[in-house]
Chains A and B, each alone.
Chain A
């Protein structure tokens, strides 16, 4: 069974690799490379896979998942300039791909689930662009 919890955060970013010249960044990223930054309302869907506990009828306690997602993602990312305030995006480009991988890496160690495991992280940068990450193995 799959269970999905959705969270949102709003943040600004610049899509540019600091080790590349400005012109190359403009060629690669276009308007997204504007050095002053621009923002999105990100929507994150975290999906857990597992079987319900026979006593509680739940795969996991959604309150606990909510607390982990707030601590690891919302509190760190919401209303921040990702390149300046949220490592590792001072060194890696905060594309929606890298944001999804970073969210997976942040929440995965905190999710201690006797009856389930992290299945996927989906991040919408806009309603028309999203990515899915299923972990390194996939």
Chain B
């Protein structure tokens, strides 16, 4: 069994603000991240998959297929977007990077069998860095 990780990047803006709290409580909770005009990040996304090495190809995953899946389901949807304004899920939940990691994980998991119909490879982990100092991981068992 081998674990393959591919790294991607996208840039997006967000504002941390929850309607269930008052303006003042939001300011205290989220600090600068609550700026009403929003702010942006260069997110770095790592997608890890797990599987046996195919004897014919020497590969555990076709990186071109993985790239296509991640590009279509994640990067094209999120890159150069305002997460609060343009992503449906973030109309209802706060676009923290915790929630962004969960959203990316669930989007990949939902489309997975269309691209990888066999038993392998399996999605193992989504790791997202909001900045080089703030990093969030969602493992594959999440939600199962």
Contact residues of A with B, CB < 8 Å? 15, 17, 20, 28-30, 92-98, 100-101, 127-134, 138
Contacts and interface: CB of A to CB of B under 8 A. Distances in A.
Interface string B56-68: 1111101110000
Interface in B24-82: 53, 56-60, 62-64
Contact of B57 (A17, A96, A134): A17
A132 B5 contact: yes
Interface residues of B, number: 17
B2 interface: yes
16 contacts: A15-B58, A17-B58, A28-B57, A30-B64, A93-B57, A97-B53, A97-B58, A98-B58, A101-B2, A128-B6, A129-B4, A129-B5, A129-B6, A130-B4, A131-B4, A134-B3
Interface of B: 1-8, 53, 56-60, 62-64
Contacts, number: 54
- Determine chain A's interface SS by DSSP, over half rule: mixed
B3 A132 contact: yes
Q: Which 3 A-B pairs have the closest CB atoms?
A: A93-B58, A95-B58, A132-B3
Contact of A97 (B2, B7, B56): B2
Contacts of B7: 127-129
A131 B60 contact: yes
